[in-house]
Amino acid sequence: MFPFSQQAAQSETPTYFTQEELSKLKSEFETGGVEKIKPLLEKKVKELDNTELNIAVTGDSGAGKSTLINAMRGLLSKDEGAAAVGSTETTMEPTGYSHPTLPNVRYWDLPGIGSTRFTAGSYLRKMQFKKYDFFIIVAAGRFTENDANLAKEIKRLGKKLYFVRSKIDADLDSMKQEQRESVESEMGKIRTDCVNKLGKAGIPDPAVFLISSYKNGMYDFSLLMKALGAGLPNIKKSVFILALPNLSVEIIRKKGEVLKKRIWMLAIISGGVGAFPVPGLSAACDMGILIGAIINFRKCLCLNDAALRRLAEKTSKSVEELKAAAQSSLLEEITAQVIVRLHLGVVAVAVSVIEAALYSVPVIGSLFGAGSSFVMTYMILNDALKLLMETAEKVLAVAKGAH
């Protein structure tokens, strides 16, 4: 019986596989069993790891493009690899910045069209329009006619576009000094003014977000991140979610949902020649897959050493203090002994037909039995991911408490 029922496909793989790919998996399994579908799953996992995401940020010099790019990457301007903030725009070429832990995600600083002599159409050709998944137009004040013309060309060519009104904290500080209306009321007025002026310039119903990149826990920053992710196709959406900085418990949990959808694939790949007995576990496991997956989970949840060092600098706490607050052995070097010591996957020993619950199909024999590499790997990675998500939430709480 094929272990990927329609019900399972809907619950476990809604964003990763097309119906055509699922049909091929089913056909290959029926003719060659698990060994025949492993290469297909290995290819899919590699695709998930290597899918590129290119984000274009444009606007005039001084609009706050570099600060926004750094904020989306979870970096401060002083961090290694950060985009230079406050520098005068001199280049007419796109400048790319890789995500600090996901090099397949790149953020591109494009010169504002107002600083060039190009028309909107020739500007987009010069800036290699086709490579970008979406565009963000940033303005520190009003959006210009050049911004509107560029936006119309981007929309005409079928790309997603978002408007960001940056430095909103400065506007609101001025409002407070003048003792005018509430923050919400003032933001509503600014947003309405932006929307109305862009509408008059020929951009109906523009998506406008009011942000401060230095205060990315406030204003519209989280709404902007949600909108950017929602506008992407399935696999790229998952890549974008994993690239987000851990600004909230909600983001951490969304990352967990994305990572959990990979586990069953890794569990099937883990069986076979790479598996070997580990004292303390009930089944042979491919320890390389287990350790690699846990390290990847840790990286995506901003729990790798480099991410913790950056967070420590922001909060004036040491990495050791952050790790102590988290109290997780999964922040140590990941070894087979750590996995055994934490009793990861121990539930699998007591569950004789867990795969029936996972895939809603009857499976017999040792292929997917309770002591199999598949079930053990599945349970270990589920347990590890749950622990790492809890750890990330603890670290976030410590970081927020330090501000």
Q: Which of 9-18, 81-90, 222-231, 389-398 has the lowest mean pLDDT?
A: 9-18
Q: Quick check: is 365 in a domain?
A: yes
Mean pLDDT of 343-358: 50
Angle, to 10 degrees, between the axis of helix 287-300 and the axis of helix 373-402?
20
**Domain shared by 220 and 311, yes or no:** no
Phi, psi at 23, each rounded to 5°: -65, -40
Choose the most confident range, by mean pLDDT, from 38-42, 94-98, 139-143, 270-274: 94-98
Quick check: 6 pLDDT over 80? Answer: no
170: confidence class by pLDDT, cuts 50, 70, 90: confident
How far apart CA 22 and CA 2 sit, in angstroms, is 11
Q: What digits encode the pLDDT tens for the residues 240-288?
A: 999 999 999 999 999 999 999 898 888 888 765 455 556 555 556 678 8
Q: Which two tokens stand for residue 258?
A: 């994305």
Q: Which residues pair with 109 in a beta bridge?
A: 57, 95
360 in the Ramachandran plot: left (φ > 0), alpha (ψ -120 to 50) or beta? left
User: Looking at per-residue confidence, does 88 or 187 come out higher?
Assistant: 187
Residue scoring higher pLDDT (154 or 349):
154
Task: State residue 2's pLDDT score.
Answer: 40
pLDDT at 154: 94
Q: How open is the CA angle 255-258-261, to the nearest 5 degrees?
A: 145
Nearby residues of 287 by Cβ (< 8 Å), 6 or more positions away: 276, 278, 336
Kindly state whether residue 206 falls inside one of the protein's structural domains.
Answer: yes
Q: Per-residue pLDDT tens for 367-385?
A: 454 446 777 888 889 999 9
Using pLDDT thresholds of 50, 70 and 90, give the confidence band for residue 3. Answer: very low
Q: Which domain holds residue 138?
A: 53-241
Shared domain for 26 and 88, answered yes or no, is no
Q: Are residues 46 and 86 in the same domain?
A: no
**Same domain for 252 and 353?**
yes
Distance in angstroms (rounded) separating the CA atoms of residues 121 and 132? 15
| pLDDT for 137 | 96
Q: What is the CATH number of the domain that holds 169?
A: 3.40.50.300
pLDDT at 101: 92
Q: Cα–Cα distance between 188 and 171 in angstroms, integer? A: 13
* Cβ count within 10 A of residue 149: 18
Instruction: pLDDT band for 15, please (50, 70, 90 cuts).
Output: low
Torsion angle of C-alpha atoms 19, 20, 26, 32, degrees rounded to 10: -160
The CA distance from 293 to 297, in Å, is: 6
Q: Examine the pLDDT at 176 and tell me if it is beyond 90.
A: no
Residue 359: per-residue pLDDT: 42
Residue 14's pLDDT is: 39
Question: Do 276 and 358 reside in the same domain of the chain?
Answer: yes
Query: What pLDDT score was predicted for residue 395?
Result: 92
Together in a domain, 177 and 270: no
Q: Which residues pair with 208 in a beta bridge?
A: 163
Within a domain: 1: no
> Which of 201, 223, 241 is the last residue in one of the domains?
241
pLDDT for res 361: 34
* In the predicted structure, residue 332 carries a pLDDT above the cut 80: yes
Please check the confidence at residue 29 and state whether its pLDDT lies above 60: yes
Q: What angle (nearest 5°) sits at the alpha carbon of residue 146, between those of residues 142 and 149?
A: 115
Instruction: Choose the final residue of a domain: 182, 206, 241.
Output: 241
On whether residue 214 sits in a domain, the answer given is: yes
Considering the chain, what is the average pLDDT of its residues? 82
Q: CA nearest 19: which of 31, 27, 9? A: 9
Count of Cβ atoms closer than 10 Å to residue 129 Cβ: 17
Q: Does residue 202 register a pLDDT over 70?
A: yes
pLDDT reading at 206 higher than 60: yes
**pLDDT number for residue 8:** 39
Examine the pLDDT at 40 and tell me if it is beyond 70: yes
pLDDT band, residue 327 (cuts 50/70/90) = confident
Q: How far apart are CA 400 and CA 338, in angstroms?
A: 29
Same domain, 174 and 273: no
- Mean pLDDT is lowest, of 10-19, 46-55, 78-87, 198-207, for 10-19
